[in-house]
Amino acid sequence: MFFKVSNFTSLTLLSLIPIVGPILANQLMAPKRTFTYLQRYFLLKGFSKKQAKDFQYEHYASFICFGMSAGLLELIPFFTIVTISSNTVGAAKWCSSLLKGERKKE
């Protein structure tokens, strides 16, 4: 609990820095943003919280890349509605490719 409160406080303070602060705070949340986009996949696959976190750490670089690009697109004013939808579609396509990869292994 302490970690969550300190993380929230530090990101809030960071976002108070003009221009650069909100962008940095947004980018620091990249892995969590990706985890949120992929939660439906984890739910449908029946992953436990530990399995979902393990998956995140196994694919951490992909989580960072997807989250950073999604975060930058979501920062564009008046275009956010379109980019949130496209980010959701991108996450769904990523999940689809993961499922295809699993089928090939079987």
Q: State the DSSP string of 12-81.
A: HHHHTSTTHHHHHHHHHTHHHHHHHHTHHHHHHHT--HHHHHHHHHHTHHHHHHHHHHHHHHHTSTTTHH
Crossing angle for the helix pair 60-74 and 80-105, nearest 10 degrees?
160
SS3 99: helix
Domain borders along the chain are: 2-105
Q: Do residues 74 and 91 touch, judged by C-beta distance below 8 A?
A: no
Query: In this predicted structure, what is the pLDDT of residue 54?
Result: 97
Q: How far is CA 18 from CA 14, 48, 73, 105, in A?
A: 9, 40, 19, 49
Q: Rounded to two decimals, what is the model's pTM?
A: 0.85
SS3 1: coil
pLDDT digits over 11-55, tens only?
999 999 998 999 999 999 999 999 999 999 999 999 999 999 999
pLDDT digits over 42-90, tens only?
999 999 999 999 999 999 999 999 999 999 999 988 999 999 999 999 9
